[in-house]
Amino acid sequence: MSLPHVRFLHPAPLPVGPRLARGWRLTAYAAGGAAVRLGRRSAVVDALLTAAGVRQGAFIGAWNPLSRAMPRRWNDRALARLRGLAQRGGRRCIAGRGHAAKPPWAEDHLLMLGDLRPITVLARRFRQHAILRVRLRAASRLLVLR
């Protein structure tokens, strides 16, 4: 299975099933009026990064850890904890939402701006499979963490 614009950040990549890979490809990641898809560039995301004075950031969530469906209230509390930890650590965050039309799917997330290292640490702490990295004038790239 070919996954363009995907990078595995662990020594032995676990097999990524076709359903999860398809979901990542079909999802539109949005925050602050800007949206991007995996492997694409977005002028609006570039403008958002430029206005914030950063060169990169990542879409990160806390919902459904390890792709296991959790109740909405649980997911909302997890995202609130993620936002609180990010803000206490000095990370700038913009509320966002990932969504796909077929199959219909949506999940709240954050666009965190700045250095990816602390963002990656938070994503692992909240047991997320991946984050979507965005960089100025570059195609978005999925960083698979687990």
Question: pLDDT band at residue 44, thresholds of 50, 70 and 90?
Answer: very high
Whether pLDDT at 84 is above 60: yes
Q: How far apart are CA 24 and CA 13, in angstroms?
A: 16
Q: What is the pLDDT of residue 22?
A: 77
Q: How far apart are CA 121 and CA 103, in angstroms?
A: 30
Q: What is the pLDDT of residue 81?
A: 98
Sign (positive or negative) of CA dihedral 46, 50, 55, 58: negative
- pLDDT average, residue stretch 121-143: 94
- pLDDT average, residue stretch 39-43: 94
CB neighbour list of residue 5: distance below 8 Å, 6 or more residues apart = 38, 39, 139, 140, 141, 142
- pLDDT average, residue stretch 99-119: 91
Nearest to 56 by CA among 117, 130, 146, 102: 117
Q: What is the pLDDT of residue 111?
A: 97
* Contact by Cβ (8 Å): 2, 38: no
Tell me the whole-structure pTM to 2 decimals.
Answer: 0.87
- pLDDT average, residue stretch 1-17: 57
- pLDDT average, residue stretch 31-51: 95
* Mean pLDDT over the full length of the chain: 88
Least confident stretch, 6-10, 18-22, 96-100, 137-141 = 6-10
Is the model more confident about 98 or about 6? 98
Sign (positive or negative) of CA dihedral 66, 16, 21, 146: positive
Question: pLDDT band at residue 3, thresholds of 50, 70 and 90?
Answer: low
